[in-house]
Amino acid sequence: MNKIVANDKLGIFCRHTHIEMQGAKTGPLAGLNFAVKDIYDVAGAKTGFGNPDWLRTHEVAKRTAPAVQVLLDAGATLIGKTHTEEMAWSLTGENAHYGTPVNVAAPGRIPGGSSSGSAAAVAAALVDFSIGSDTGGSVRLPASYCGILGMRPTHGRISLEGVCPLAPSLDTCGWFARDAAVFERVGRVLLDDTGKAGAPGRLLIAQDAFAYADATVAAALRPALDRVEALIGAAQSVVVGDEPLERWMDHFRFPQGAEAWACHREWVERENPRFGPAVGPRIAWAATVTPEQAAHARARREEITLRMEAVLKGGAVLALPSAPGIALPRNSPADVVDGLRARALPMLCIAGLARLPQVSLPLAVVEGCPVGLSLIAARGNDTMLLDLAKKLS
């Protein structure tokens, strides 16, 4: 076990699924080290998925997930796996079985989930970059809370073979970094894209998404918006939703629940696994989602996708908060966490529903804690967002 993992006092790395691999001697990522969320298969180790019963009932991986292998082939060295909220289904990062990684950017507060360990590792400068996953915000929210760069790519751009699923039609491979140049280099490798980034068109401000944010967050992000305007041009306020965004959240969560249950029903019913108090009720709820509910939501999803294509045509960039507020204190009461979800998911579901790329930029601070500004672009415009991130950081 390497010194970084062995000396981890922040509860970031998984010792029970530890694996490390040397990267290629040359390549665009040579000399960089990274960590991966413990939902990615790495040959020679088990994948824990944040749950001891999953770990107990699954075999050692025989093949490394392509998203990890491409990074190794590009020269990056894997130093270990990071903790995740169980089943990758949480926004807090507080795992009932393995604990909560420390968020050094906001001491005493949650790192955000479910890619909690991956975000915390980058924030603590233990790795140059890390790999997480984002279904409903599990890269974008931790990036905001930990004061780092985070990317959810266009759905389907990066392989999820060898990755534990939550909801396949919504799941994406995402990544974190502190340095914008490293962030872009990693993205170029994962996206397999060395072409010239497209130029942004107009800047749009998501008025209805900003409505879910604390007033202090909206005020703190104003200078960041000014910086984006200086690059792209004067912003135009838009209403994203064709109905309140909390209704869009329902169109997101019903397919998510139906897919989660379809993926894991056989294992849950066979093993009767022990879930923590936050995730257990979600799994139970997923089992109750009806085919009619899922079908209606999926139909609305296609309408929303078409709407967002029209909003973002011509290289438009949509700006919105990455999170409604700063990170919650650790061990917040359940009703406080539920309040976070109720305000975060309406803004986070936009990119997920419409399969869009979104980048979170660490451009503001409130009460000494980081706050992220997010930029969303049309499908396939991932490298345009990476270029903007580099120019704004």
Residues with catalytic function: 37, 114, 138
Distance (Å) of CA 199 to CA 62, 158, 315, 376, 381:
42, 22, 7, 14, 9
Task: Take residue 46 and report the two structure tokens written for it.
Answer: 């088990």
The token pair that represents 200 in the structure block: 């942004």
> Helix, strand, or coil here: 214?
coil
Q: Are the C-beta atoms of residues 242 and 350 closer than 8 Å to each other?
A: no
Q: Which amino acid is at 53?
A: D
For residues 115 and 340, the answer to whether their CB atoms sit within 8 Å is no
Q: From edge to edge, which strands make up the β-sheet containing 317-321?
A: 77-82, 33-37, 129-134, 172-177, 149-152, 358-366, 369-376, 317-321, 203-206, 235-238
Q: Are 313 and 363 in contact (CB under 8 A)?
A: no
**240 close to 351: Cβ distance less than 8 angstroms:** no
Distance CA 128, CA 105 (A): 16
SS3 167: coil
Quick one: DSSP state of residue 88?
G
Burial of 223 (0-12, 13-18, 19+ CB in 10 A): exposed
Output the CA–CA distances (angstroms, integers) from residue 102 to 47, 63, 77, 93, 184, in the order listed: 22, 31, 23, 10, 26
Distance (Å) of CA 275 to CA 89, 282, 293? 11, 10, 25
